[in-house]
Structure formats: C-alpha cells, structure tokens
Amino acid sequence: MAKTLHWLIAVLIFAMLAIGFYAAEVLGLRSAEGFQWIQRHKSLGIVVLALVLVRLVWRLHGPVPPIPVHVRPWERAAARVVHFTLYVLMLAMPLTGWALISTSASNLKTEIFGLFVLPPLLPPDRALHDLFEEVHESLAFALIAVVAVHVAAALFSIIINLILIPRYGALGAGIGTAT
C-alpha cells in the first residue's frame, strides 16, 4: 500500500502543479477556462491532502523501508530531511491553497469535483489573501526543488544498488563510501 500511495500522490502532485501553473500563467485566473482549471487544481489538492494524511498514518504505524547498509550517515540524514520536508510541503500546499481561497474577497467556494463544498478556513481578508497567495506560490517552487532532489537521490541509489554494486561487487560497494 505504501508504494501505491507514493506513486498516486506523486502523479497527483505533478498534475496539480502543472494545472496550477497552466491556469495561473497561461490562461489567467480571471478567464472562464482558467477558473475551471483552478477548480480541478483545488480538487486535486484536497485529494492530495487526504492521501498524504493516510500515508502519514501508514508510515507512523507501519514498517518504514530500510535504508541500504552502504548509505553513508550524512546521506541517511539528508534522506530523512528530504522526506520530512516533502511531508511538510505536501501538507502545507493544500492547506495554504484552501486558506488562499477562503480569504478571497470574491467569496469563492472550495468545491471538490462538484460533489461537495469545504467550509472556509478563515474569513475574507485581503492582507491574509495576499500573504497566502505568496506563500502558496513559494511553496510550489520549494516543492518542485525538493521533489527534484528526491528524484535525483532515488536515481543515484538505483544506479549504485542495481548497476554498480552487482557489477563490481565490493569495489562497487565502496563507491558510495569515499569522503
């Protein structure tokens, strides 16, 4: 289940980021089409929030995949920091988006796939709206950066574990241990 949640969340985050940038930067949020895409973006964001909460509960109560023995202590620490940061961002992004919509003076609803409406987190407030808009956008760029680091580290691990260690044995095991 953990792998399924991982990849489902990854695909949804990619879609959510792409839709958010497309609606905001290409279509414009004030256009009818941009508005429709933002509705999809908001719905995906709430789904991501729910799935991340499920994944957090699963991770806290289930087994965590072991880190390979050849991984250096600083790499282990970096992996923990990256995973922690990913969880913070995956929770903060939908919450700041929800707060952004809630504080809008235009009284927009957070409607999820046309099925139900979430209550506003906060009352309309222009200053808070502007703050949440900046924070939400900044978190999007931070999420992209941390995901890029996560993907690069995963690819590095695959190269070491699946290519170099099987090919070179003990010599390959030493590849990741030089200082």
Count up the domains in the chain and report the number: 1
In angstroms, rounded to a whole number, what is the distance separating the alpha carbons of residues 125 and 15?
29
The predicted model scores a pTM of 0.83
Burial of 103 per CB tally in 10 Å (0-12, 13-18, 19+): buried
- Please say whether the beta carbons of 12 and 51 come within 8 A: yes
> pLDDT-derived band of residue 171, with 50, 70 and 90 as boundaries?
very low
CATH number at residue 31: 1.20.950
- Does residue 153 carry a pLDDT above 80? yes
The predicted-structure confidence for 94-114, as pLDDT tens digits, reads as follows 999 999 999 999 888 888 999
Longest pairwise C-alpha distance within the chain: 64
pLDDT value for 157: 80
The predicted-structure confidence for 124-141, as pLDDT tens digits, reads as follows 999 999 999 999 999 999
The whole domain housing 158 covers 2-177
List the beta bridge partners of residue 116. Answer: 112
pLDDT value for 165: 64
